[in-house]
Every structure is written in structure tokens, then in C-alpha cells.
Structure 1
Amino acid sequence: MSLRASSSATTATNKFSFQQSLNPKSTFVNGNPTPQSHVKQLSFFPIKAQQFELKDGLAAVFEPKMSLGDALKVKEWEVGMYQDEFAASQGIRIRRRPPTEQPLHYNGPFEFHLQNDDNTPRNILEEIVWYKDTEVSQMKERKPLSVLEKMLNDAPPVRDFVGALKEANSRTGLPGLIAEVKKASPSRGVLREDFDPVQIAKAYEKGGAACLSVLTDEKYFQGSFENLEAIRNSGVQCPLLCKEFIIDAWQIYYARAKGADAILLIAAVLHDLDIKYMIKICKLLGLVALVEVHDEREMDRVLEIEGIELVGINNRDLGTFKVDIGNTKRLLEGERGQRLRQKGIIVVGESGLFTPPDIAYVQEAGVKAVLVGESIVKQKDPTIGITQLFGKDMSS
């Protein structure tokens, strides 16, 4: 069953409401939340009406005073009911969390045994996501939605991330640079021992970076939200991308509260319903989402989603961590590249970019921006590292 707004419903006219952003278009049957159309479309987006009608004529009234926590639980219930089905249908191999029930194997009358132990992550990304699921649950307990609401009210103004990339591309004739503030990675270990995030950010800005990407994952990348907040409060003017493994809408609110202007959404982890829902949240908060893809199937999925402004092509294989910048060219050839241009989507090249020929290669393929970390953060002077990367001074 689907829901549509009643013509007699009232419309909110005041400024953005944190409560509104979490209200689901859901009805309740016997006290339980029921997803509309079996969640064929998103049930969460800002609601301007509180009363809805079911197509079969039955009326359902959403309780306007539902707590933020309960509203978010409804969304999680709806999507969680179909999580595995959504992921499988879209070719997503990264499991959101460890299986809670193991498959049984029949060995004879009344004898069933566990077929295999499938509680081991299949690759590093799955391991990170599993850990992130636990970490976010703990963070939500320490900083519930009521606390985030106040933090959002005190958050600094949003900066124009997309506009900064376009301006840099127009000014230099080269892809706009998103310079990454990153201390370590699972594949490379510690990249810089004398890691001062604020000083590195200032060096990037001096060197001509259009935007900055700040790693906030602690366990695997030795980053933090404190680094993001410190850079935002340091006087650096570049718009900031919160580089986090986002699996829960709560993280988007938290990133904005800490000063983020953009967030990362990974198509290999998030199914289409999640991406659509999270993009709506981003637009409410004034953020932009960089939606990252790795292969043709992920690109095809993303091309069907409305509202995307930035698509990142990651040249790193998720399973092996090997890098091939030819991946960018493959994904931008033919109809895919044409559709991206028609939609006005800015393509960001990611991973494996170390030299001016690398930059020229992905630019010729169609990228208008690049996200680079390792090749410049390891330089003694990251400002000079940017000049070496592009083969020219990017600051003028």
C-alpha cells in the first residue's frame, strides 16, 4: 500500500526542522510500523503534511509528536526488513553486519549442522563496515538525536563544495583538487609520522586545493572528527568533505554538526534506497554527497538515481586493493559518459594519481576533479607536492 498526502493537511512554513527530516511516511498496523509499497520507494523524506490516506480508502494518521528516536527506528525497521534482498538484487557483496543465523546443512534424520562459519569478513571493506556498525551504535547512545539537534543549530554555515571545484577547474584548466588529510590507510600503513591535520590543511589550501577531504575513521585510517572540527575552526576556507564510511543517516547529521560541507556515500556498501534517502538528508542540511563507484554495475545504478551532483570513480579494487587508473576511462566511455554529461554530474577521479601524466590521463577521460591523498600528504611540504602532482603552480 502507498500513501499520499491529504489535501487538508497543513504545511510547515518555518525554517528547516530537525524533527521533520526524520518523520517517515508510514502507517501503523496493530501498533507496528508498516512500510509503504513494501518500501519500493523511500518512506523517509521531509514531511509537509501529517495526515495521509491509503489508496484503499483507509485513513492513517502519523503521530506528529513521535520522538526522533522512534521515527528513526521506523526507517531502520523498514529498510532492514529488505536489506538482504535489496543488496542481492543490486550486486552488492559487502554485508552490512555479520550474519546472526548460520545456514543449516541436513545430515540425516533430525541432524542439522552448521554448513560453514560465515562470520569472517570477506575483505577489508567488509571488515571496516562491520566495525563501523558497532561503532556508530555506540556513538548514537553517547550522542542521541536530541543532542545532535542542538549541535546542528550551532554548526558553522555550509560552504559550496561543488562551486569550489567548478571554479578551480575553470581557473586552471585542470581538474579541481580535493586534497586529502590522511595519516594512514589499511593498505599503506602510516603515511606521515609528523601528522598535524591543521598544518597539512593550510599547506593544501596554500598550494591551490579547491576542497579538502578529511579522514574521520579512527581504527583503520587514524583519523577523527576532532581533526575535521579543528580544520574547520582553524581559518581554512576550503570546503570540507567528511571522509567516513557512512552506513547510517545519524552519521550525516553528525558530520554536518562537526563542520562538514560534503560527505562520501559508497555504492559498494549502500543500496539504492539508502543512497536516495541519504541524498535527501544531505539536501535538507545543505550538504553535497560524493557518491563513489568502482565498476560498471555501480555506475549504472547511480545513473538511475536523481539528485546526484558528484560521482567519484575509485580506481582501487575493493578486494585486492590493487589500483588501475584505466578504470576511470572504462567507466566514462560511451553511453555512461554521455549520460553523466547530460545530467551535469561532476566526475571525480580517485586513487592511483601520482604524476602530471596521471592527471592528464583521467582528465582526458572526462573527470573535472580529482581526490588525492597519498602522493601529496607524504611530501615534506604538501604545497610543493601539489605543484609536482599537476606539473604547475595551482595556487594562482
Structure 2
Amino acid sequence: MQHTILDKILSYKKMWIADQKKQHSLHFLKSKIQASNRDFYSAVSRNKYQKTIFILECKKASPSKGIICNDFDPIKIAQTYKNYSSVISVLTDNKYFHGNFNILHQVSNIVKQPILCKDFFISEWQIYFARLHKADAILLMLSILDDASYQKLVKIAHTLCMGVLTEIANEDELKRAKYLGAKVIGINNRNLNDLSVDLNRTITLSKDIPNTITVISESGISNYCHIRKLRRYVNGFLIGTILMSQPKLNAAIKKLILGENKICGLTRVRDADIAYKSGAIYGGLIFVPTSPRYINITIAQRIVSCVKYLSYVGVFCNAPISYIVTIVNILGLAAVQLHGVEDQDYINILRTRLPITCHIWKSINMNHRPLSKCNILNVDRYLADSGGGSGKTFDWSLLSSMQLDKVILAGGLTINNCNKAAGIGCLGLDFNSGVEIKPGIKNHQKLIKVFQIIRSY
């Protein structure tokens, strides 16, 4: 299948280049362009203090997915990407990806990062055309270029001070990339024959890449767990599809880069505001009367109405289902978090009473009954905890045998241990007493600091 698709793309690309040359000759392009002044290689350089590199992509469609983003606005996308991205990638193929070269220009005008032109480069003319539209780097696929063609295109790009991301998909292409002196290698996790994705390809191929080369993992990275799992093997990630398919782009990026983190026990508007601005996705509102962080519906409404961008989770313990449903409907909660002995029957009934948009989270006391499998029916997330409100950690090695893509880690998380906690690879972290001045009153400096630490990987 992929061979046929790739054949069609390359056949069309040759016709497109021939047609465009009639309008923009190579001589014309050379007379109009200047060398790039945005250093792609510096932006993705390996050094002791380099954080994970994120190349975020503007992409409206793909052959495998069709239209990904119906409301595709490159300027709005770039304005969000510039806060997180080391480099911004733009798909410029018009027929199969619904891109165009004007997007390069639009994005370049509002960001300072280097712009990567992602297309099927087979001709030197394309490089000059990309540079005319302000591209600072190009993607070269070894699957469609022989060694001589690759070397020729790299030389031209470097003459224009443009960077090159060299894409490989197998061991043979990796050997060629190393022989040809590639500075930055992108490992494509997508199978070029059937379009399937295998993230283990990154792990397998990266082991044979010397640490003098920057390594980027491409395709199929869809959540924070993937990032943390693969980070030990690579320097960064090129990500587009999963972000372009999300209606709330900023939140989607935070989930991907920082995890689905929650600040629980909110009692004040100002704390919720700082939690969101620092990087939290969720705000926890506790409706357990025995908790020192218990709030009534009036306070909860004030918080929810004033800080609208947090997704709110209501925390309950053995509460009547009717009470939970009432709170959910008044506040428009994103999830309910169950901390008691709610059994499968209770959860099943609750599911039928809640809006479909409201998820169910179940807290698991790992000190009492560790959960080996995340298989409770109608539960969307699991909170691995040491017992609600204890302020203590549990033995995190208990998580080693668990699938972590639905698990949020809680219990005793602080500035001092959040880096290690994040490295475990759960979907997110849940902070409460470890970022407080006193119960229910958050320490803003600690809130800011924990997210800085989480992002330091």
C-alpha cells in the first residue's frame, strides 16, 4: 500500500516541480533569496544541559488520516507552538497533505524559531523554492534519495545556511545516514509498506547511532508516556498529527510535554489561576466533608467560573450517586475521582448517570491493594496513591509491572521528588500537600517550581 502511495506522491511531485519551474525558474529563485539566519543545528544541538527537543508540526491532512484539522489556522497554531517548540515544522505538499509554501512564510513571520520545510525533496529547485518562502531547514528522506542525490541536496542546503533533518526507517538507511555524515537523524516509526506504527523502531535503531548525532523520533508519538519511554534513547521528537487533531491545542501540548498533571485540594481562585499558568491540566475540588480541603458548591462555582481553562475533577468518597451527579451537572466537571470503596456495580450505575464527557477516575491505595492491571470497567483513569490525604509516598516499584498510560501518580509528591516521579512514566502527577503553605492554601513558588522541574527532562 505504502509503495503505491509513495509512488503516486513522487510521480505527482515531479509534475508539480516541472509546472512550478515554468513560473519560478531556478535562476529567478537564486536571485531572490538570502541565506537563512536561523540556525537549525543550534536549535537542536546536543549538549549537557539540553532539554528534550520538540519539533511541532503544522499539518492539515495526511494520506493515512485524511483531514486531521478542519479548523486549520497556521497563524494561531504557530502562536501556540512558539511557546513550546525548538523548531516548527510545516508540511508543504498540497495534494496529499493539504499544505502550501505560503504557510512557511506565515509561520516564520510570527516566530523566532527555525522553520523546517517537510516535503518530498528530490530536486535542488525545491530547496531554493523553500528558502524563498523562509524555510530554515529541510527534511531529506533516504528512502527516496540515493547517496549522490542526498549529498548534492545537503551541499546546497548548507550553502544557504539551512539545516537538514535526515529521515531513516530501517537499518540500511541508518548505515547510509552515518556514512553520509548526517548531523541530525529522524527515525520514522511508520512502516513504509503498510503505514503501521511501531515505536520500538526508535529504540532499536537509536542504539546504533553515536552520541555525536542528534536523534529525533518521528511518527506515532501520541502521549506523555511515549515521550518518557523514548526520551532515554533520543534527543527529541517531531510531533504533528496528535496535536492537530485536538480542539484545545495549548492543553494538548501541555499534556504531551508535561503530562496530565493535577493540582488537587484547590480552595482559592488565585491558586487555581497559578496552577493553570504553571502547567496543570486538572484542578481538584474536594467534596469529602472530613477533608481539611473540603469546599462547598458556592466556592467551587467561584473557582470554576473564574479560571475557565483548567479541567476540573471532583473528589468524592462513598458519596451518594445522586449527589455526585448534581455536583457534576452544576460545575460541568471533566471527571469524578472516587476515593472510597466504590465497587463495580456502583461505578456502572454512576457511568449511566453522568454526562458522556465526564470521566471516572478511581483511586487505588497501593499500600493496601496494589493494582496489577488497569481493567476496572468504566474507569478511565487510575490514581495510584498511598491513601487520600496521607501526604506520603508509596513504594513506586509497585508500578513497574503496570501499564502506565492510564495511571496518574499521587501521594506525597513535592519539589524534591517530582523529577524522579515524572521519570517513572505515568500519564501525569497529582500534587496536593507538597505544594501547600497549609491545607488548602497553595504555595505559588512551589507550584511554579514543580512544573519547571517536570519540564527539565
* Shared fold per TM-score greater than 0.5: yes
Answer whether contact 1:350 1:372 (CA < 8 A) is retained. yes
Deviation of 1:121 (Å): 8.9
User: Which of 358, 378, 382 is 2:226 aligned to?
Assistant: 358
Encode CA deviations 1:307-329: one digit per residue, 9 max, x unaligned. x2111000001111000000011
Q: Alpha carbons of 1:272 and 1:167: their partners in 2 closer, same or farther (altered >3 Å)?
A: closer
Cα distance between partner residues in 2 of 1:359 and 1:121: 26
1:185 equivalent in structure 2: 62
Give, in whole Å, the separation in 2 of the partners of 1:223 and 1:181: 9
Deviations 1:20-57 (A, max 9, x none): xxxxxxxxxxxxxxxxxxxxxxxxxxxxxxxxxxxxxx
Q: CA deviation at 1:391?
A: 2.5
One-letter code aligned to 1:211: V
State the AA in 1 paired with 2:254.
Answer: T
Could you tell me how far apart the structure 2 residues matched to 1:256 and 1:168 are? 28
Give the TM-score normalised by structure 2.
0.55
Deviations 1:167-198 (A, max 9, x none): 89935x4x210000000001001111111011
Q: How does 1:165-184 map to 2 (within 5 A)?
A: 165-166=44-45, 170=49, 173=51, 175-184=52-61
Q: 1:352 to 1:168 in 2, by over 3 A?
A: farther
C-alpha displacement of 1:271: 0.5
Q: More relative contact order in 1 or in 2 (CA 8 Å, sep 6+)?
A: 1
Cα pair 2:105 2:134 within 8 Å, conserved: yes
Q: Give yes or no for contact 2:190–2:197 (8 Å, CA) kept in 1.
A: yes
What residue identity is the alignment partner of 2:217? Answer: G
Contact 2:223 2:255 (8 Å CA) reproduced:
yes
For 1:217, the equivalent position in structure 2 comes to 93
2:140 aligned residue (265, 285, 295): 265
Give deviations 1:250-288, integer Å, cap 9, x for gaps: 101111111011000000000111111111111100011
Deviation at 1:238, TM superposition (A): 1.6
Q: Distance between the aligned counterparts of 1:121 and 1:386, measured in 2? A: 29
- 2:203 pairs with 1:329: yes
1:188-219 Cα shifts (integer Å, max 9, x gaps):
0111111101110111112x111100010000
Please list the CA deviations of residues 227-257 of structure 1 after superposition, one character each: whole Å capped at 9, or x if unmatched: 1111112x21121000111010110111111
Judged with a 3 Å threshold, the aligned counterparts in structure 2 of structure 1 residues 169 and 354 are, in CA distance, closer, same or farther, namely farther
Residues 95-118 of structure 1 show CA distances to partners (whole Å, capped at 9, x for unaligned) of xxxxxxxxxxxxxxxxxxxxxxxx
Confirm or deny: 8 A CA contact 1:124 1:319 kept in the other structure: no
Counterparts in 2 of 1:215 and 1:315: CA distance versus 1, 3 Å? same
For structure 2, the 5+ residue unaligned runs are: 260-278, 280-450
| C-alpha deviation, 1:165, in angstroms | 2.5
Residue matched to 1:111:
none
**C-alpha distance in structure 2 between counterparts of 1:169 and 1:270, whole Å:** 33
1:200 corresponds to 2:77:
yes
Q: What is the rounded CA distance, in whole Å, between the counterparts of 2:97 and 2:144 in structure 1?
A: 18
2: CA distance, partners of 1:283 / 1:385: 34
- Work out whether 1:312 is the aligned partner of 2:186: yes
1:127-182 per-position Cα deviation (integer Å, ceiling 9, x unaligned): 101110111111112110221023214x7x420122223389935x4x21000000
Letter in 2 for 1:345: I
2:213 to 345, 349, 365: 345
Kindly name which structure, 1 or 2, has the bigger radius of gyration based on alpha carbons: 2
Contact 1:310 1:346 in 2 (8 A): yes
Counterpart CA distance in 1 for 2:3 and 2:27 is: 36
1:11 paired residue number? none
**Counterpart code for 1:363:** R
**Which one of 345, 368, 377 corresponds to residue 244 of structure 2?**
377
In structure 1, C-alpha distance between the alignment counterparts of 2:46 and 2:234, rounded to whole Å? 14
Structure 1 residues without counterparts, runs of 5 or longer: 1-119
Partner of 1:276: 151
Contact 2:46 / 2:235 at 8 angstroms: preserved in 1?
A: no
Change (3 A) 1:141 1:290: same
Q: 1:193 to 1:169 in 2, by over 3 A?
A: farther
Is residue 46–residue 214 contact of structure 2 (8 Å, CA) maintained in 1? Answer: no
Rounded to whole Å, the distance in 2 between the matches of 1:126 and 1:168 is 39
RMSD: 2.1
Q: How many residues align?
A: 263
Retained in 2: the 8 A contact 1:185–1:220? yes
After TM superposition, the structure 1 = structure 2 runs for residues 118-133 of structure 1, keeping only pairs within 5 Å, are 122-133=3-14
Q: Residues of 2 paired with 1:370 and 1:146: CA distance?
A: 36
Matches within 5 A, 1:1-396: 122-153=3-34, 157-166=36-45, 170=49, 173=51, 175-206=52-83, 208-233=84-109, 235-306=110-181, 308-333=182-207, 336-337=208-209, 340-341=210-211, 344-364=212-232, 366-392=233-259, 393=279
The one-letter code of the counterpart of 1:265 is L
Q: Tell me the distance in 1 between the aligned counterparts of 2:22 and 2:186.
A: 32
Q: Does the Cα contact within 8 Å between 1:215 and 1:243 map onto a contact in 2? A: yes
AA aligned opposite 1:325: L
